[in-house]
Amino acid sequence: MEQEISRRRTFAIISHPDAGKTTLTEKFLLYGGAVQLAGAVSARQNQRATTSDWMELERQRGISVSSTVLQFEYRDRVVNLLDTPGHKDFSEDTYRVLTAVDAAVMVIDAGKGIESQTRKLFEVCRRRGIPIFTFMNKMDRPARDRLSLLDELESVLGIAAYPMNWPLGDGAQFRGVYDRQSSRVHFFERVPGGAFRAPVSVHGLADPQVRDSLDPELYARTLDELAMLEGAGAGFDHAAVLSGHLTPVFFGSAVNNFGVQLFLDTFLELAPGPHPRQASGRVIGLESDAPFSGFIFKIQANMDPKHRDRLAFLRICSGRFERDMTVTHTRTGRTLRLSSTHRLFGRDRETLDEAFPGDVVGIVGHAHFRIGDTLATDPTLVYREIPRFTPECFAWLHSATTSQFKRFREGLDQLLQEGVVQSLLIKNSPQRVPLLAAVGPLQFDVVQYRLQSEYGAESRVEAAPWRVARWVASDVAEDGFDESLLPSGARVAFDNAGRTVLLFSEQWSCDFFAGRNPSLQLSTLPLDSVGETADARSAAA
C-alpha cells in the first residue's frame, strides 16, 4: 500500500490561454510513452488532434473548454495528469480540478511573461498550498530577458524562483538548454511538427562543439548569466518547493519538444505524492488500514458517443479502491456498489479493478451524484473541497422548436447537473424558462453546442439585463423582506437549492441597496458555503 501510494503523482497543468498548456500535455504523453505520435492543438489534415482536447468544439476553436484526466505509467510512476481550460470563462472547471491535485505545472509564454489568468490561478494554488513548477514555454520564439522573467515571478507572484536549466538563446537561435543539476548542455534537433521525440546530444559546457555551435556573443552571455545565478541566486530547497515558497523553473519549447523530457523526469522526481486531507474536522491519513474515501470533483456526460453515459470523476483520498466494493454516498446516506469503474485517458476508458490514493477514477451508473459529493466506507466522512462561484453573466435559454423540447429539457438538466452553468428561477415569473448564470459568456456557447451535438436540440439565447447576483441570508429570506425597497430593474430569484438571490443590473445599484439596508446580510456566494469558497472569492477578486 505504501509503495503504491508513493508511486502516484497527480497534478494539473494551468496557464493563461494560448501559453501552450495543451501542447505541453501532449508532449508529456509522447515522452511518457502514452502516445506514439503527438497531436497538435490546431491539427492540419495530415496531423492528429490532441488527446486531451477530445470535444469537437475544442478542436474547432483551438482552446480547451473542459478539463481532462489522463492516467498513464512512466518508469516507476503512475501519473494522473489533468489538463485544464485556460480561458477565464471556464475557470470554474479549472478551480474544481485544483481541489483534486497534489501539484501544479504553471506554463508561461516566455515572450509575454505573467498574464492575468496565470496570476489568478497561481493565487488559487497558493491558498490551497499546492506546490507549483514553472515551464517557460515558447523559447523557440523571441522571448523576454530570462533574468527579468525570473524577477517577475518573484515580484508579481511573490514566490522565489530557482532555474533548473538555462536556455541557450531564443527564437531562431534557440538550440537547447543547460541542465544545472548535471552541468550538461542538451542540444536538440527540430522534428517536423514536433510529432516525434526530438533527437538530443549532450555535452559539457566547455566542449568545443558547444562553443562552435553557438554564436560567440550568445556563448559569452550564457557563461555570464550562469555565473551570476551561481553567485547571487538562491540555492535549491526541496522543502521550500513542497511548501509552495519556491518554484523550480524550466525553459523550453513544447511545440518543438525542446526540454520536455528533462522537465518531465525532474518534475516527477520532485513533485509530492498524495498527502493526508481533512474531512469532517479530522485528518484522514494514508495508512494501509485507513478507510476508503474520495470526492467527486467533475461530472461529464456523453464523452464517448458509443456509450452516451454519465461519468463522475472521483479523486481517491485514502484507502484502497476495489471494483464492486460497497461505499456510502454520505450526502444521501445511500449504500452503493461501485461496479462500473474506469481508468481514464481523455475520452478513452478501460475497466479498473483497483486504485490507490492519488488516483482519479471514472464511475458510471449513478445519476444522483453531484459535484462535491463524498464516497466513503465511513459514513461520517465529508470532504468540503469544491468551491462555488459568483456568476457575472445571465441569459435565458429557449428551445428553438416545440418538437425538440423534450430533448432540450433532458439535455439541459444533464448539463446543469454537470455544473456547466448555474440555473436560477425568477420569482413570480410568468414563464418557466430557466435563467442561466455563468462566469463568462462562452459557457453559454458550450451549452448550446452540446445541446445540439449531443441531444439534437437547437436552442436560442436571450441576454438578460442583470450583471450582479447577491445571496440573501437564509433567516431573512424565510421571514421575507420588503421587495419594494429593491432598486428599479432588480429582481428576486431562487437557485437550485431554493436559496434567495437578488439580481441587480449594475454594481452601483447593488451597493446603493446594501447601503440603504445595512441589516440585510448579502453575500457573493451562498452563505452556507462560506467556509468552502475562500479560494473562489479570492480568485474572483
Q: Residue by residue, what is the 3-state secondary structure of 103-163?
A: EEEEEEECCCCCCHHHHHHHHHHHHHCCCEEEEEECCCCCCCCHHHHHHHHHHHCCCEEEE
**Residues 84 and 19: beta-carbon distance below 8 Å:** no
**Residue 74 forms beta bridges with which residues?**
77
- Give span(s): CATH 3.40.50.300, the chain: 2-66+87-270
Please give the pLDDT value at position 465. 94
pLDDT digits (tens, 9 = 90+) for 202-245: 999 989 989 998 999 999 999 999 999 988 766 899 999 999 99
Instruction: Copy the grid coordinates of residue 404.
Output: 425538440
Q: What is the CATH number of domain 393-540?
A: 3.30.70.3280
481 CB burial (10 A radius; 0-12, 13-18, 19+): middle
Strand partners, 293: 318, 376
Report the pLDDT value the prediction gives residue 292, as an integer from 0 to 100. Answer: 96
Residue pLDDT, tens place only, 137-194: 999 999 999 999 999 999 999 999 999 999 999 999 999 999 999 999 999 998 887 7
539 within 8 A of 393, measured Cβ to Cβ:
no
463-502 tens-digit pLDDT: 999 999 999 876 555 556 677 889 999 999 988 888 889 9
Can you give the pLDDT at residue 534? 40
Is it the case that residue 42 has pLDDT exceeding 50? no
| 514-523 pLDDT per residue, tens | 999 888 888 8
Output 282 or 61, whichever has higher pLDDT: 282
Between β-strands 522-523 and 468-472, what pairing exists: parallel, antiparallel or unpaired?
antiparallel
CATH number of 2-66+87-270: 3.40.50.300
Q: Give the architecture (CATH level 2) of 277-376.
A: Beta Barrel (2.40)
Question: pLDDT by residue (tens digit) across 416-464?
Answer: 888 888 899 998 876 667 899 988 888 888 889 889 988 899 999 999 9
Q: Residue 385's pLDDT is what?
A: 78
- pLDDT at site 41: 44
**pLDDT tens readout for residues 76-120:** 999 999 988 756 766 778 888 899 999 999 999 999 999 988 998
Using a pLDDT cut of 70, give the percent of the chain over it: 87
Q: How far is CA 308 from CA 264, 364, 365, 455, in A?
A: 34, 11, 11, 10
What is the enclosing helix (H) or strand (E) of 539?
A: helix 534-540
Domain with CATH 3.30.70.3280 in the chain: 393-540
